[in-house]
């Protein structure tokens, strides 16, 4: 015998689950402090400068 399902409740439960999943993604993306963002930016800039300093100039005059 099949289980009886209230479609209104199932629809609301599905919407809640989707909303929670979207909130979890946003916490990952936007949940960093200003200090963490600045640290990541500084590390990226340092890596870029180091890479650029190791490049060779192959241009011939």
And the tokens for 7?
A: 């479609």
And the tokens for 5?
A: 């399902």
Verdict on whether the full-model pTM lies above 0.75: no
Cα–Cα distance for residue pair 38/21, rounded to 1 Å? 27
Mapping DSSP to helix (H, G, I), strand (E, B) and coil, where does residue 59 land?
coil
Percent helix, percent strand, percent coil in the chain, to nearest 5: 70, 0, 30
Q: Where are the domains of the chain?
A: 19-53
**Sequence-ordered list of residues with C-beta below 8 angstroms from that of 40, at least 6 positions apart, any chain:** 32
Cα–Cα distance for residue pair 58/45, rounded to 1 Å? 24
Q: Output the pLDDT for position 60.
A: 66
Q: Write out the chain's pLDDT in tens, 61 residues.
A: 889 999 999 999 999 999 999 999 999 888 889 999 899 999 999 999 999 998 887 766 6
């Amino acid at each position: 015998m099949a289980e009886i399902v209230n479609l209104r409740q199932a629809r609301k439960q599905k919407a809640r689950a989707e909303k929670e999943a979207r909130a979890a993604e946003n916490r990952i993306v936007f949940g960093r402090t200003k200090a963490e963002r600045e640290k990541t930016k500084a590390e990226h800039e340092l890596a870029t400068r180091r890479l650029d300093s190791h490049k060779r100039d192959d241009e011939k005059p």
